[in-house]
Homo-oligomer: A and B are copies of this chain.
């Protein structure tokens, strides 16, 4: 990995966000020249403190640019070897309340980035962060889902992310840009957004447990999910960026094994030493976009890229809670109503 990335120029969109910042830090360790782009839209995952450990790195350049600003993006994509394309609107609930902003960020800006690459940087490789959300509800007997499962998104965010990944595959197949798509499940770890529940439920759960509060789990809590530690996800991005067999491919990125939301809550409370949880019936507006159990078959990325998750849930949660204990002031915002 060091052989590939050392001295290379890479761009990370959404690079002050959760996964983007962890990826940028790792790329700097590998000796890459890293340009981080982030809109720092309030309430989303972007947080200047996320890159604190590398703030004075001479190989790091940080640009506060919105991916919707096509002209500014054009200047940034020139001469990059790899673009890790992680900028996105990630809140499912926000996408239902303001579908047009989601469309601008997750469809139009993705198409614009790819079209800019086609015009001014056709040699660049683009690795896109997609989501298992595109599968929607999957009948129990079809789990785990592999990449051939027909997408059936249950919210605007899922529909737009699906279009976003389809654009990436299309530009690989038709315009000769090299692209690769990772369908992420539930990533957790240091730098996860915890000040609100917009990024993923687990961030909010971690925060509540650390604050000794009561987690609210909707339904019976037996819904299964994949949780992947961020270092493992970062490794998947690095492998996809460095490996030409990933070109034009879509990969599920799963966990060591799926666990239920109740098991997650139990483990979290045990590792933190504080907190409790309660089960509450689904409110109707949440039930409408709930998807039950979902976990993925990720044998493809394990076979093609030799990727394998390394960090188990207990260790991952321990590191995460340790990180927030040390850096709490930079991540805790005002309290919000409980969601799970």
Among the 9-residue stretches A30-38, A120-128, A166-174, A330-338, the one with 4 or more Cβ atoms under 8 Å from chain B is A166-174
Q: Is A149 located at the chain interface by the 8 A CB criterion?
A: yes
Which residue of B is nearest A169, CB measured?
Answer: B152
- The CA-CA distance from A100 to B167 in the complex, in Å, is 12
Interface size on A, residues (CB 8 A): 28
Residues in chain B near residue A162, CB distance under 8 A: 162-163, 166
B167 touches A155 (CB 8 A): no
Chain B residues with Cβ below 8 Å from A115 are 99
A70 CA / B162 CA spacing, docked (Å): 24
Interface string of A146-175 (1 = CB under 8 A from B): 001111011110011011001100100110
Q: With A159-B163, A162-B166 in contact, do A103 and B107 touch (Cβ < 8 Å)?
A: yes
A166 vs B100: C-alpha distance when bound (angstroms): 15
Answer yes or no: A326 CB below 8 A from chain B CBs. Answer: no
The answer for the CA separation of A38 and B16 in the assembled complex, in Å, is 44
A289 CB-CB contact with B under 8 Å: yes
Scan A254-266; emit 1 where CB is below 8 A from any B CB, else 0: 0000000000000
Does A279 reach chain B (CB closer than 8 Å)? no
User: Taking the complex as formed, is A111 at the interface, i.e. its CB lies under 8 A from any CB of chain B?
Assistant: yes
Q: Return 27 A-B CB contacts under 8 Å, by A number.
A: A100-B108, A100-B111, A100-B112, A103-B108, A107-B107, A107-B163, A111-B156, A148-B150, A149-B150, A150-B150, A150-B151, A153-B170, A154-B170, A154-B173, A154-B174, A155-B170, A155-B174, A156-B170, A159-B163, A159-B166, A159-B170, A160-B163, A162-B162, A162-B166, A163-B163, A173-B288, A174-B288
A→B interface (CB under 8 Å): 96, 99-100, 103, 107-108, 111-112, 115, 148-151, 153-156, 159-160, 162-163, 166-167, 170, 173-174, 288-289
List 10 A-B pairs, minimum CB-CB distance, nearest first.
A150-B150, A159-B166, A163-B163, A174-B288, A99-B111, A159-B163, A103-B108, A107-B107, A153-B166, A159-B167
